[in-house]
């Protein structure tokens, strides 16, 4: 780890001013950032500690939804009574990630901002366009078992590793952002970026902007499922994950909001998949049709070719479970 300056931001305005600088990063829980600093992947000259800014409350909204403070921890969020009762897919997704110790420290805002990464990104001796633009993507012709099959580019095939954002995408949540240019709200589905020609740009935050909260819409009486397929039962990134908010009325799909992890540079949401299901009774033929649409542009890179049939099987299993639970 290289030497750095540490500053405790006394206010949101000062945090915004500090992080507008080229070589300053905000730190809250630091569960991802400090790891990357130890590896010298991240080498900020200054850290701005934002833990004293507030934004740690979890509170009801006027329209019946729920606002998650950006500095509330993942554990506090997962065990909150309203999250468990009204948004169980979010609670399950959070508890499927990392370890209890990390969840106790990691914050909601920091979770959204964790780096999309792979073995080549975290090894400074390997080529990586994300870490060092122009050096190439070592994973494309290298070890790619955990890598993306959707939304890739010739610059990067890394996958977004988080679980929480996948559930938030299925729930239709919004990210509240504040900066020196004012406040704005961005759908979680639009917060993260695909690699394109700029894989080092991973989300829509501008310099000086800070996440202050996440807003969940009013709950619906739907079946909520989070299924994560991984190599071991804990502390492992998803090979594929599915967050589903499903409702059946008179034996037909009346709501089908789905998001996927482990497949792309960002949590993957394809609205066509849900639209294909709406108004139709559950069937294997329908589930295969939904999977065909999801995977029509999927591309494997050798070692991760298995993800394509695995994703199909996982989606079918989730939809079948949802239909059974809703019956």
Average pLDDT on 154-163 reads: 98
The total of other beta-carbon atoms located within 10 Å of residue 78's CB is 19
Q: Which pLDDT score is estimated for 112?
A: 98
In tens, the pLDDT along 218-252 reads 998 899 999 999 999 888 999 999 999 999 999 99
Residue 140 and residue 156 in contact, taking contact as beta carbons nearer than 8 Å: no
Q: Of residues 181 and 6, which shows the higher confidence score? A: 6
Domain 223-326, second-level architecture: 2-Layer Sandwich (3.30)
**Residue 294, strand partner residues:** none
Q: Which one, of 189, 229, 219, lies nearest residue 315 by Cα?
A: 229
Domain 5-51 has CATH 3.30.43.10: yes
Average pLDDT on 137-163 reads: 97
CA distance 29 to 122: 19
Element (H, E) at 174: strand 174-179
* pTM across the whole model: 0.98
E strands, the chain, are 5-8, 24-27, 46-49, 58-60, 66-69, 174-179, 182-187, 210-216, 223-229, 240-249, 252-261
Q: Which pLDDT score is estimated for 326?
A: 83
Q: Which pLDDT score is estimated for 143?
A: 96
Q: Which pLDDT score is estimated for 327?
A: 76
Mean pLDDT of the chain, nearest integer: 97
Average pLDDT on 181-192 reads: 97
Q: Which pLDDT score is estimated for 220?
A: 87
Q: Which pLDDT score is estimated for 234?
A: 85
Residue 45 and residue 1 in contact, taking contact as beta carbons nearer than 8 Å: no
Residue 153 and residue 146 in contact, taking contact as beta carbons nearer than 8 Å: no
Ranges of each domain in the chain: 5-51, 223-326
């Amino acid at each position: 780890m290289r030497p750095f300056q540490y500053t405790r931001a006394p206010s949101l305005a000062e945090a915004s001013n500090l992080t507008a600088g080229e070589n300053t990063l905000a730190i809250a829980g630091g569960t991802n950032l400090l790891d990357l600093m130890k590896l010298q992947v991240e080498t900020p000259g200054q850290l701005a500690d934002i833990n004293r800014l507030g934004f740690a409350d979890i509170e009801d909204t006027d329209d019946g939804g729920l606002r998650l403070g950006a500095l509330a921890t993942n554990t506090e969020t997962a065990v909150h009574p309203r999250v468990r009762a009204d948004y169980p897919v979010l609670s399950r997704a959070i508890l499927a990630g990392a370890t209890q110790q990390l969840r106790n420290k990691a914050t909601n805002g920091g979770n959204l901002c964790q780096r999309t990464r792979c073995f080549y990104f975290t090894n400074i001796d390997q080529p990586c366009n994300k870490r060092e633009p122009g050096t190439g993507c070592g994973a494309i012709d290298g070890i790619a078992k955990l890598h993306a099959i959707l939304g890739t580019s010739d610059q990067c095939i890394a996958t977004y590793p988080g679980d929480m954002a996948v559930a938030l995408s299925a729930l239709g949540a919004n990210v509240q952002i504040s900066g020196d240019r004012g406040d704005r709200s961005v759908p979680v589905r639009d917060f993260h970026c695909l690699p394109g020609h700029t894989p080092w740009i991973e989300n829509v935050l501008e310099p000086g902007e800070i996440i202050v909260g996440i807003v969940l819409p009013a709950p619906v009486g739907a079946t909520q499922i989070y299924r994560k397929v991984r190599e071991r039962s804990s502390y492992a990134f998803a090979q594929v994950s599915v967050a589903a908010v499903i409702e059946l009325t008179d034996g037909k799909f009346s709501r089908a909001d789905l998001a996927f992890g482990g497949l792309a540079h960002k949590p993957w949401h394809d609205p066509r998949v849900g639209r294909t299901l709406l108004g139709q009774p559950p069937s294997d033929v329908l589930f295969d049709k939904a999977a065909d649409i999801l995977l029509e542009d999927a591309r494997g890179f050798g070692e991760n070719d298995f993800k394509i049939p695995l994703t199909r099987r996982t989606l079918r299993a989730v939809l079948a479970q949802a239909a059974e639970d809703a019956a």
